[in-house]
C-alpha cells in the first residue's frame, strides 16, 4: 500500500493522470476468479468480459499495446462496471480495482476528450449556480415528460417519452423520485442552531439529498439537533464529484474537491457528516488520492478524510446516540449500499440504529450487501443488466416479508424504489435516518 502511494506521488501525478501508474495494481491480480462470485454485472450477464479479472486482462492488453484504449469494444467493457467495489472485498490479493477502472476512464478522456453531452453536464457542475438553475428548470418542466403519482413524490415517464426512453429504462413502468422544486439547501438555514449544543458539525448534503430527497436531508438535520448538535449546511457546497470521476473527468472533480474543501474549511467545524456512501467515500478516499500531488490541498484532503463520517458512524461511535423512544411498529430490512459498506466500511452502525428503535422488527435479507444495480448513471446506460441485478435484490427484499426497506444511500433508494415497484412489491423505501427521525418525532407526540 505504501509502495502504491509513493508511486502516486511521482512528479505530482496520480493514477488519474498516467495509466502506467496502475501497472502495479494490475500485477497484483492472480486471475484466480474470486471476483466472479460477487461481481453483480457478471452475475447478470454471465460472460467473462463483464468480470473484474477480465477487465484487468484487457487493461494489460491496452498497456502492452495489443488493444487500443478507444476501441469501441474496450470502451463498452470499461463502462460496463458499476464501480461498486464488491470485487475488492473478495480479492485475496487486494487489487484496488476502482483505481484501475478510474485510471482507464481518465486515460480515455485524456485521449479523446469527453463526449459533448457529458462535457456539457459536467461543466455546469463546476458552476453551482448554473447547475442549480438547471435542476430547478428540470423540476419545473418534469411535468411535461413525466406523470406524477398521488403524493407527488414519484414520477413515471408519460407516453411519448416512455417510448423513446425505453432503452434507457425510462419506460412507462419506471418510477423515480420527483425533482424537488425547493432543494434541501434552500429549505434550511445555513446554520441550524440548537439550545445547549454540545458540538457543531458540517453536513455535506450531496446532490441527491439536495435535489431528490430533501426530506431525508431534513430528517438527518433533525436527528443531529435532537442529539444536541449544531449543524452547518454551507450553501456554497458543490457536488462531491463522484459522478464525474467515474466518467474520467479528473480536472472537473479536482476543481470540485478543492472548492468543497475551501467551503468546509470555512465552517470551522470539527466533523463532516454525510448521508450518502458515495459522497462520504469521496471525502474519505477519493479526494486524498486525487490531490495526492497537490502540496496545498493534499494535506487538507487528508485532514477532512479523517473527520468525515457517515451519520450512522457519527451517532454511534463519535457521540452517544440519544435513545429513541417513539414506537415504530414496522418490519424493516436493510440494504448495504456498496459505497457505504465497501468504501466507508459502514455496515454494523445503521443496523444498530434500526434495532434501537422500539417496536421495530429487524429482518436481515439474503445477501444484504449485494449491489442493487444502481451505480449512479449505470442504470441509465445499461438498463437491462441493472434491472436483472435489481430484480434479484427486489426478490431478496420480498422474501423477508418486511414492509420497509431501508438503506444509507440516495442512489440505492432510487434503484430500490423502481425495482420494488416493478416486482409488484409494496415495501416503503427509506433512508435509515428517516426512521430514527420518525421515532424521535413520535416520542414528542406520544408524550
Q: Which residues form the interface with other proteins (CB under 8 A)?
A: 27-28, 30-34, 36-37, 46-49, 51, 54, 57-58, 61, 67, 71, 73-74, 76-77, 90, 92-94
**Contacting residues for 150 by C-beta, under 8 A, at least 6 apart:** none
Instruction: Compute the distance between CA of residue 287 and CA of residue 294 in angstroms, rounded to an integer.
Output: 11
CB of 91 to other proteins, least distance (A): 9
Rounded alpha-carbon distances, angstroms, from residue 334 to 19, 25, 117, 224, 396 = 38, 33, 36, 21, 11
- Region class of 51: left (phi > 0), else alpha (psi between -120 and 50), else beta: beta
Backbone φ and ψ for 194, nearest 5 degrees, come out as -145, 140
Per DSSP, which regions of 1-75 are E strands?
A: none
Q: Least distance to other proteins from the beta carbon of 361, Å?
A: 23
Closer of 27 and 270 to other proteins (Cβ): 27
Min. distance of Cβ 71 from other proteins in angstroms?
7
Rank residues 38 and 412 by Cβ distance to other proteins and give the closer one. 38
Decide whether 34 or 124 has the Cβ nearer to other proteins: 34
Cβ-based nearer residue to other proteins, 74 or 188: 74
**Smallest distance, Å, CB 306 to other proteins?**
22
Helix, strand, coil shares of the chain, percent, nearest 5, are 55, 10, 35
Which residue matches cell numbers 436527528? Answer: 223
The bridge status of strand 229-232 relative to strand 191-192 is antiparallel
Distance CA 347, CA 92 (A): 21
CA-to-CA distance for 98 and 446, rounded, in angstroms? 48
Closest approach, Cβ 151 to other proteins, in A, equals: 39
Q: Look at residues 408, 269, 265 and name the one whose alpha carbon lies nearest to residue 336.
A: 408
From the CB of 62, what's the least distance to other proteins, in Å? Answer: 10
Instruction: Please state, in angstroms and rounded to a whole number, the distance separating the CA atoms of residues 135 and 139.
Output: 6
Supply the minimum distance, in Å, between the C-beta of residue 371 and other proteins: 16
Q: Which three cell numbers stand for residue 242?
A: 463522484
Judge residue 304's burial from the number of C-beta atoms within 10 Å of its C-beta, 0-12 exposed, 13-18 middle, 19 or more buried. Answer: buried
CB of residue 391 vs other proteins: minimum separation in angstroms? Answer: 17
Residue number, 61 or 296, with CB nearest to other proteins: 61
Q: Measured between alpha carbons, how far is 59 from 107 in angstroms, rounded to an integer?
A: 11
By C-beta, is 68 or 270 nearer to other proteins? 68
Q: Which residue, 224 or 371, is less far from other proteins as judged by CB?
A: 371
Q: Which is nearer to other proteins, 86 or 260 (CB)?
A: 86
Instruction: Round to whole Å and give the CA distance between 268 and 190.
Output: 13
Min dist CB 79 to other proteins, Å, is: 12
Measured from the CB of residue 181, what is the shortest distance to other proteins in angstroms?
A: 43
Closer residue to other proteins, CB minimum distance, 78 or 154: 78
Nearer to other proteins, 88 or 276 (CB): 88
Is residue 388 exposed (0-12), middle (13-18) or buried (19+ Cβ within 10 Å)? middle
Ordered strands of the 146-148 beta sheet: 146-148, 154-157, 176-177
Amino acid at each position: 500500500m505504501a509502495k502504491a502511494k509513493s508511486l502516486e506521488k511521482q512528479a505530482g501525478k496520480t493514477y488519474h493522470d498516467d495509466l502506467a501508474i496502475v501497472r502495479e495494481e494490475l500485477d497484483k491480480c492472480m486471475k484466480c476468479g474470486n471476483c466472479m462470485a460477487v461481481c453483480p454485472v457478471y452475475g447478470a450477464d454471465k460472460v467473462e468480459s463483464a468480470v473484474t479479472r477480465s477487465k484487468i486482462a484487457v487493461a494489460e492488453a491496452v498497456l502492452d499495446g495489443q488493444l487500443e484504449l478507444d476501441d469501441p469494444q474496450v470502451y463498452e467493457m470499461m463502462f460496463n462496471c458499476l464501480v461498486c467495489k464488491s470485487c475488492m472485498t473478495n480479492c485475496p490479493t487486494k487489487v484496488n480495482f476502482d483505481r484501475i477502472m478510474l485510471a482507464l476512464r481518465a486515460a480515455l478522456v485524456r485521449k479523446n476528450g469527453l463526449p459533448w453531452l457529458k462535457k456539457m453536464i459536467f461543466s455546469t457542475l463546476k458552476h453551482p449556480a448554473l447547475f442549480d438553475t438547471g435542476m430547478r428548470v428540470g423540476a419545473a418542466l418534469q411535468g411535461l415528460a413525466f406523470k406524477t403519482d398521488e403524493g407527488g413524490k414519484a414520477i413515471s415517464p408519460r407516453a411519448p417519452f416512455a417510448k423513446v426512453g425505453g432503452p434507457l429504462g425510462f419506460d412507462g413502468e419506471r418510477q423515480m423520485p420527483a425533482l424537488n422544486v425547493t432543494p434541501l439547501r434552500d429549505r434550511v438555514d445555513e446554520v441550524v442552531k440548537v439550545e445547549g449544543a454540545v458540538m457543531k458539525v458540517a453536513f455535506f448534503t450531496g446532490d441527491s439529498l439536495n435535489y431528490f430527497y430533501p426530506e431525508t436531508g431534513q430528517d438527518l438535520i433533525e436527528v443531529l439537533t435532537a442529539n444536541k448538535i449544531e449543524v452547518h449546511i454551507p450553501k456554497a457546497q458543490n457536488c462531491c464529484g463522484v459522478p464525474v470521476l467515474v466518467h474520467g473527468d479528473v480536472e472537473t472533480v479536482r476543481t470540485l474537491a478543492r472548492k468543497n474543501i475551501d467551503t468546509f474549511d470555512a465552517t470551522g467545524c470539527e466533523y463532516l457528516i454525510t448521508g450518502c456512501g458515495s459522497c462520504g467515500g469521496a471525502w474519505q478516499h477519493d479526494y486524498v488520492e486525487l490531490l495526492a500531488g497537490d502540496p496545498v490541498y493534499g494535506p487538507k484532503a487528508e485532514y477532512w478524510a479523517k473527520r468525515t463520517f457517515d451519520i450512522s458512524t457519527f451517532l454511534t461511535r463519535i457521540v452517544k446516540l440519544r435513545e429513541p423512544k417513539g414506537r415504530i411498529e414496522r418490519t424493516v430490512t436493510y440494504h448495504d449500499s456498496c459505497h457505504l459498506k465497501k468504501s466507508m466500511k459502514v455496515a454494523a452502525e445503521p443496523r444498530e440504529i434500526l434495532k434501537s428503535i422500539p417496536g421495530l422488527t429487524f429482518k436481515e435479507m439474503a445477501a444484504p450487501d449485494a449491489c442493487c444495480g444502481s451505480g449512479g448513471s449505470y442504470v441509465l446506460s445499461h438498463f437491462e443488466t441493472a434491472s436483472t441485478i435489481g430484480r434479484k435484490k427486489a426478490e431478496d427484499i420480498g422474501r423477508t416479508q418486511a414492509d420497509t426497506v431501508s438503506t444509507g444511500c440516495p442512489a440505492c433508494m432510487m434503484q430500490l424504489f423502481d425495482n420494488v415497484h416493478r416486482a409488484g412489491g409494496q415495501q416503503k423505501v427509506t433512508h435509515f435516518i428517516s426512521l430514527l427521525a420518525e421515532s424521535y418525532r413520535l416520542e414528542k407526540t406520544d408524550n
